[in-house]
Amino acid sequence: MNVAELLERFPRDDVVVLVDRSATPPEQVTASALRERALRCGAGLAARGLAPFTRIGLLAANCGQYYDVMFGAPAAGLVFVPLNTRLPAETQAYILEDAHVQLVISDAEHAPLVPPDMPHIVIGTAEWDDLVAHEPLSEAAAVDDNDIAVQIYTSGSTGRPKGVLLTHRNVTFTVLEYGAAMPGEVMLVSAPLYHKNASMSSKLAFANGATVVLLGGFTASGYIEAITEHRVTMCSGVPTMFALVTAEIASRVAAGHEVPDLSSVQRAFIGSAPLTEALYDDVQRLLPQAVVSNGYGTTEAVLEFGPHLEGKPRPKISVGHQHPKVELRLVDPDTGEDSDAGELWVRSPGVMTGYHNLPDVTAERLTDGWYHTGDLMTRDEDGWYYFVGRVDDMFVCAGENIYPDAVEQMLEKHPGVHQAVVVPVPDELKGQLPAAFVRAEPGHTLSADEVKQHALANGPAYAHPRHVWIVDEIPLASTAKIDRNGLVARASELVKADSP
């Protein structure tokens, strides 16, 4: 089954399946129109003489045309490569070269990030209009289940982005078995479509007879407005988004305004980052009639969990019960034995085939079809799973993976930085924030603000250290390695001391 054929599952062609609020005024798109747009885009790409499995990059903020390319590329037998708009030009260039992308489609805002020698079409230009003016393909290209459909990049432990290879079978299995959207549901999508949270939510909606209300970007006020205007029944997003929404409503109430009517929301799905019990309670109070769920999934394997097979109620911050179509193991990192506490391994038709051009990394993370997630979990006596943390040092800030080594390498490119160690510190809004201990080069005078500005200029904004401490020495543990645990504790103490 071609990924593009997910658009053929809607029971009625005349029903609105997309409300595109990135457009002014918002555009309503029916099932037949959305499918035709994708097939027109696919026809335009095919007319360029691109060979099967050619990589097509998309660098754009949320917009209705995003779906044209997301489904149009695989409809033409090509491979869709979503690009993170928050990455700097240097990293974009690396990804484009690594993936052998032959054409980039972008919006005008992000066009400057595309290398000048790369074939490039900007949405909204005459060239884009020509691309989507072709007669639509009569049907999506015939594909093998194991053909690559999507190559999506995720940061590696060394900071180099890794291309996750997802087949048509990987994607369609996940969408059709996930069961998170129901016919007639109105789903609000505001996270970036290059992110698995938003792209998977959209596919689930389109494949199951639901309607997507798409925001061009997230703001708390825009999120609330969309819910009330369109009577949204299902919300999805990362914990930070929901924290900002609850804060916005609290601020309005404190200013004497009425609480907005969010009674239409029946389900709230929070994922892509750890969910605290406090935020769960805040969201539940905000949406008392809704079922609030703590979601889990990785780019490499989205589907792991579902409801309890015996119908038992889900504990509030559990990530779920083992899905019946998925195999799961918890492996003790020290002994390698199965346990009720350990690293989550998953095996299913939804697991990636590997990392692009990284056979050694693939071999480390895939064993006989078992994907080693790197996430530590526990399982209770009823079979409910709970997220504990990462096996390695990676941490999550507002849904974005941050790898200390990558940030440290970037900081140490500053001529005044001799050594840098990046650790997480707790944050009520974003879960965790990066903080840095920095040792200056001898003879250099270095300020915390200078380090922060260097980070903002040379890496994604979400990864820049919010706290920087200039130190004389970096402490070592008894193993002669950096005492990261000690620095994590020290950073937490310093942040508390600085708090009002």
pLDDT of residue 394: 78
Confidence of residue 479 (pLDDT cuts 50, 70, 90): very low
Helix/strand/coil for 66: helix
Averaged pLDDT for residues 131-152:
97
Is 80 exceeded by the pLDDT of residue 117? Answer: yes
Tally Cβ neighbours within 10 Å of residue 467: 17
Please tell me the distance from the alpha carbon of residue 270 to that of residue 304, in angstroms, as a whole number: 15
Interior/surface letters 33-54, b for 16+ CB within 10 angstroms, e for the rest? bbbbbbbbbbbbbbeeebeeeb
Confidence of residue 478 (pLDDT cuts 50, 70, 90): very low
Which of 152, 185, 217 marks a domain boundary?
217
Pairing type for strands 305-306 and 320-322 reads antiparallel
Same structural domain, 31 and 61: yes
pLDDT of residue 11: 81
Return the beta strands (E) in 380-460 as ranges. 384-390, 395-397, 400-402, 417-427, 431-440
Contact 72, 116 (CB under 8 A): no
Same structural domain, 118 and 165: yes
Contact 281, 295 (CB under 8 A): no
Averaged pLDDT for residues 9-13:
87
pLDDT of residue 463: 93
Helix/strand/coil for 492: helix
Q: Note the pLDDT tens digit of each residue in 370-423.
A: 999 998 899 999 999 998 777 777 788 988 888 787 788 789 889 888 888 899
Q: Note the pLDDT tens digit of each residue in 415-445.
A: 888 888 899 999 989 999 999 999 887 778 8
- By C-alpha distance, which of 115, 122, 72 is closest to 96? 115
Q: Calculate what percentage of the chain has a pLDDT beyond 70.
A: 96
Q: Calculate what percentage of the chain has a pLDDT beyond 90.
A: 72
Please tell me the distance from the alpha carbon of residue 180 to that of residue 255, in angstroms, as a whole number: 36
- Is 88 part of a structural domain of the chain? yes
Tally Cβ neighbours within 10 Å of residue 281: 14
CATH of residue 314: 2.30.38.10
Confidence of residue 485 (pLDDT cuts 50, 70, 90): confident
Interior/surface letters 136-150, b for 16+ CB within 10 angstroms, e for the rest? bbeebbebeeebbbb
Average pLDDT, the chain: 91
- Is 292 part of a structural domain of the chain? no
Distances (CA, A) of 109 to 4, 81, 106, 118, 122: 27, 18, 8, 17, 9
Same structural domain, 471 and 372: no
Confidence of residue 158 (pLDDT cuts 50, 70, 90): very low
- Is 247 part of a structural domain of the chain? no
CATH of residue 51: 3.40.50.12780
pLDDT of residue 480: 43
Counting the structural domains of the chain, the total is: 3
Interior/surface letters 264-280, b for 16+ CB within 10 angstroms, e for the rest? bbbbbbbbbbbbeeebb
Residues in CB range of 482: below 8 A, 6 or more apart: 421, 474, 475, 476
pLDDT of residue 413: 86
Confidence of residue 481 (pLDDT cuts 50, 70, 90): low
- The dihedral formed by the CA atoms of 317, 323, 329 and 332, expressed in degrees to the nearest 10: 0
pTM: 0.81
Contact 305, 323 (CB under 8 A): yes
Same structural domain, 140 and 155: yes
Same structural domain, 18 and 129: yes
For the chain, give me the number of helices (H) and strands (E)? 13, 26
The end-to-end CA distance of the chain, in Å, is 57
Which of 369, 390, 411 marks a domain boundary?
390
- Is 73 part of a structural domain of the chain? yes
Q: Note the pLDDT tens digit of each residue in 72-97.
A: 999 999 999 999 998 889 999 999 99
Same structural domain, 150 and 63: yes
Same structural domain, 359 and 400: no
CATH of residue 438: 3.30.300.30
pLDDT of residue 500: 67
Same structural domain, 21 and 160: yes
Q: Which two tokens stand for residue 59?
A: 């660098």
Q: Which domain holds residue 444?
A: 395-498
Same structural domain, 374 and 426: no
Q: Which two tokens stand for residue 304?
A: 């792991």
Helix (H) or strand (E) holding 27: strand 27-30
Q: Note the pLDDT tens digit of each residue in 339-370.
A: 999 999 999 999 999 999 999 999 999 999 99
Q: Note the pLDDT tens digit of each residue in 271-295.
A: 876 676 767 888 898 899 999 999 8
Same structural domain, 416 and 336: no
Residues found in the chain:
500
DSSP 476: B
Averaged pLDDT for residues 181-202:
90
pLDDT of residue 157: 39
Query: How far does CA 68 lie from the centroid of its chain?
Result: 20
